[in-house]
């Protein structure tokens, strides 16, 4: 948990383990601070220091409502963005932390996306993919999660930019997003990530950090999250370090529910208006921190979409209570995140990192594009292939598998996200060409990758969850959070109750009111 969540105790003696009935949830007695969800000023001194810092540096904060619907951003702010590079360390880029950007930083009416056709996927159901590399600074949607986690801590006074360093544990994009958001908000950000992540991640960090010591490299790669936790445990001993752990920060869930959920709902409704009878059959997203999965909560509540959580077959925690190493950078990490609403998840899907690696090469190659063109994929779709990173490809493959498993038809839309673009994985493709494809990558190799992982994607490693399956996965998290991290058992168990999740999903308006009050005190928007 974050440094402000240490009030959660480990007294489990009064609670019996074995009953899977949801713990009662009473919003009247719920203490949001126990879950890092304060909705009032916690530290007046820290709050006033933040107000002064933001006033002197001219930093204004967007609300969750504005990120969910950027048309509500004040005209003067939107106009000022025309002179700001989307990748610049300029505080005004906080108002670009949403799904409605184009690649140049312009505002669009509908989130940029692609609808993958049957000629590419081999399934009749349309797969709608929203592009995350339109987000500013890092070209990935994790900058949204970082903002969602930090801004409530600022406007409650819990985080004091004059005292604290913001610690961002991640396997890459969340750490980058945290460093970017920290810099834009006048804070000092520290990235904690495994040493073997893609070269491009570290090159980006080197340009954005304040000090070389602000990048902490832990042992291993994508699957080594425990090592990240261990590093954060050491860092937390220094009160100047404020840990913003995406796996436990419920604001990560709330932010994606409020912002990503609304954007994806807009995409579905946009296409439903053009195709009467189109229903939203499902939402597919890989489980890294599980933050992005929260968008599915809105889509399920409002449109009946099934939620499919995705992980690497090589590290099959949800599917097989297993472990291992994989290279789908940004997903599945040998544990069940604390903010994953497991008991509202409908399907679990395993995707091989080999499939993502091979498609990553195919999508970037003339041979792969020629193969898809010959299959009938039009140029408009082919021109989007650069926008799929490894975890994006994972989501697409999983969506195909879900479509097959559920026997979906042409009126059954699936929505997913391309979390980042191919530009972050050039070094990974180089490794593939030097290793697996050392003998060359030609038409035959491209055909094998596309036929196997797209057109011929099977339904292996897909589980449609029953209550038994949901409880099995939920219970697995006990060992991480209760036994290893000292979370109170009642706080662990209450997450089994959907009333808990529905309640915390209402927190964004309260934070928005505090953001408005904070902006009013800084006077930045009045200038």
Percent of the chain predicted with pLDDT > 70: 94
Give the pLDDT confidence score for residue 228 in this predicted structure: 83
pLDDT level of residue 221 (50, 70, 90 thresholds): low
Lowest mean pLDDT among 233-247, 415-429, 449-463: 415-429
Give the pLDDT confidence score for residue 4 in this predicted structure: 40
Give the pLDDT confidence score for residue 288 in this predicted structure: 87
284: phi then psi, degrees, rounded to nearest 5: -125, 125
- Considering only CA atoms, which of 188, 179, 180 is closest in space to residue 160? 188
Give the pLDDT confidence score for residue 493 in this predicted structure: 96
- Considering only CA atoms, which of 65, 122, 74, 59 is closest in space to residue 98? 65
pLDDT tens, residue by residue, 465-501: 999 999 999 999 999 999 999 999 999 999 999 999 9
Residues 317, 476 contacting (CB under 8 angstroms): yes
**Residue 70 or 217, more confident:** 70
251: pLDDT strictly greater than 70 = yes
pLDDT level of residue 265 (50, 70, 90 thresholds): very high
Average pLDDT over residues 247-267: 98
Average pLDDT over residues 12-35: 72
d(CA 85, CA 238): 36
- Considering only CA atoms, which of 514, 406, 509 is closest in space to residue 464? 406
pLDDT level of residue 328 (50, 70, 90 thresholds): confident
Give the pLDDT confidence score for residue 12 in this predicted structure: 35
| End-to-end Cα distance, the chain | 38
Strand 127-131: give its sheet, edge to edge. 113-116, 127-131, 412-418, 279-286, 306-312, 347-351, 462-464
pLDDT level of residue 223 (50, 70, 90 thresholds): low
14: pLDDT strictly greater than 70 = no
pLDDT tens, residue by residue, 304-313: 999 999 999 9
167: phi then psi, degrees, rounded to nearest 5: -100, 125
Average pLDDT, rounded, for the chain: 92
151: pLDDT strictly greater than 70 = yes
> Phi-psi region for residue 345, left (φ > 0), alpha (ψ -120 to 50) or beta?
beta
Using only C-alpha atoms, the chain has a radius of gyration, in whole angstroms, of 22
165: phi then psi, degrees, rounded to nearest 5: -100, 135
pLDDT level of residue 18 (50, 70, 90 thresholds): very low
d(CA 297, CA 74): 29
Percent of the chain predicted with pLDDT > 90: 82
Give the pLDDT confidence score for residue 232 in this predicted structure: 86
d(CA 145, CA 148): 5
pLDDT tens, residue by residue, 394-429: 999 999 999 999 999 999 999 999 999 988 888 889
Average pLDDT over residues 102-129: 97
Give the pLDDT confidence score for residue 187 in this predicted structure: 95
pLDDT tens, residue by residue, 463-475: 999 999 999 999 9
Lowest mean pLDDT among 133-142, 206-215, 337-346: 206-215
pLDDT level of residue 23 (50, 70, 90 thresholds): confident
> Phi-psi region for residue 334, left (φ > 0), alpha (ψ -120 to 50) or beta?
left
d(CA 281, CA 272): 12
pLDDT tens, residue by residue, 168-179: 998 768 999 999
- Taken in order of first residue, the domains within the chain and their CATH numbers are 113-136+254-464 (3.40.50.1100)
42: phi then psi, degrees, rounded to nearest 5: -95, -40
Lowest mean pLDDT among 138-142, 217-221, 245-249: 217-221
Lowest mean pLDDT among 38-52, 222-236, 366-380: 222-236
Strand 165-169: give its sheet, edge to edge. 215-218, 188-194, 165-169, 241-243
Give the pLDDT confidence score for residue 13 in this predicted structure: 34
3-class DSSP assignment, residue 390: helix
Model pTM score? 0.94
């Amino acid at each position: 948990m974050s440094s402000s969540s240490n009030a959660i105790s480990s007294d489990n003696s009064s609670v019996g383990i074995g009953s899977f009935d949801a713990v009662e949830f009473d919003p009247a007695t719920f203490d949001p601070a126990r879950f890092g969800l304060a909705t009032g000023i916690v530290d007046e001194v820290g709050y006033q220091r933040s107000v002064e810092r933001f006033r002197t540096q001219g930093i204004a904060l967007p609300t969750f409502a504005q990120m969910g619907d950027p048309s509500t951003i004040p005209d003067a702010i939107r106009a000022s963005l025309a002179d700001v590079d989307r990748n610049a360390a300029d505080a005004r880029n906080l108002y670009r932390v949403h799904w409605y950007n184009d690649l140049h930083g312009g505002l669009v009416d509908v989130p940029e996306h692609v609808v993958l056709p049957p000629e590419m996927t081999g399934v009749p159901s349309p797969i709608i993919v929203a592009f995350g590399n339109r987000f500013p600074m890092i070209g990935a949607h994790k900058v949204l999660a970082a903002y969602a986690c930090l801004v409530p801590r600022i406007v409650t006074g819990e985080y004091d930019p004059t005292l604290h360093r913001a610690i961002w544990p991640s396997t890459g994009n969340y750490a980058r997003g945290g460093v970017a958001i920290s810099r834009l908000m006048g804070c000092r950000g520290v990235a904690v990530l495994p040493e073997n992540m893609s070269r491009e991640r570290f090159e980006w960090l080197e340009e954005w950090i304040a000090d070389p010591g602000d990048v902490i490299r832990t042992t291993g790669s994508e699957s080594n999250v425990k090592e990240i936790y261990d590093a954060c445990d050491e860092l937390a001993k220094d009160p100047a370090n404020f840990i913003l752990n995406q796996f436990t920060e419920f604001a990560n869930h709330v932010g994606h529910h409020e912002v990503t959920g609304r954007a994806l709902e807009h995409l579905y409704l946009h296409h439903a208006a053009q195709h009467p009878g189109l229903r939203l059959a499902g939402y597919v997203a890989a489980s890294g921190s599980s933050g992005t999965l929260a968008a599915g909560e809105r889509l399920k509540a409002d449109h009946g979409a099934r939620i499919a959580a995705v992980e690497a077959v090589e590290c099959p925690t949800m599917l097989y209570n297993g472990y291992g190493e994989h290279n789908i950078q940004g997903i599945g990490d040998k544990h069940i995140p604390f903010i994953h609403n497991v008991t509202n998840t409908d399907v679990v899907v395993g995707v091989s990192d080999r499939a993502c690696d091979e498609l990553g090469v195919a999508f970037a190659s003339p041979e792969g594009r020629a193969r898809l063109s010959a299959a009938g994929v039009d140029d408009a779709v082919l021109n989007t292939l650069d926008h799929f990173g490894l975890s994006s490809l994972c989501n697409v493959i999983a969506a195909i598998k879900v479509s097959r498993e559920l026997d979906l038809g042409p009126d059954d839309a699936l929505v997913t996200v391309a979390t980042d673009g191919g530009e972050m994985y050039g070094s990974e493709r180089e490794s593939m060409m030097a290793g697996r494809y050392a003998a060359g990558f030609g038409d035959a190799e491209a055909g094998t990758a596309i036929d196997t992982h797209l057109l011929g994607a099977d339904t292996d490693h897909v589980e449609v969850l029953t209550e038994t399956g949901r409880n099995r996965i939920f219970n697995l998290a006990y060992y991480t959070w209760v036994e290893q991290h000292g979370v109170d058992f009642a706080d662990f168990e209450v997450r089994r109750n959907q009333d808990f999740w529905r309640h915390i999903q209402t927190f964004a308006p309260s934070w928005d009111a505090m953001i408005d009050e904070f902006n009013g005190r800084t006077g930045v928007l009045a200038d």
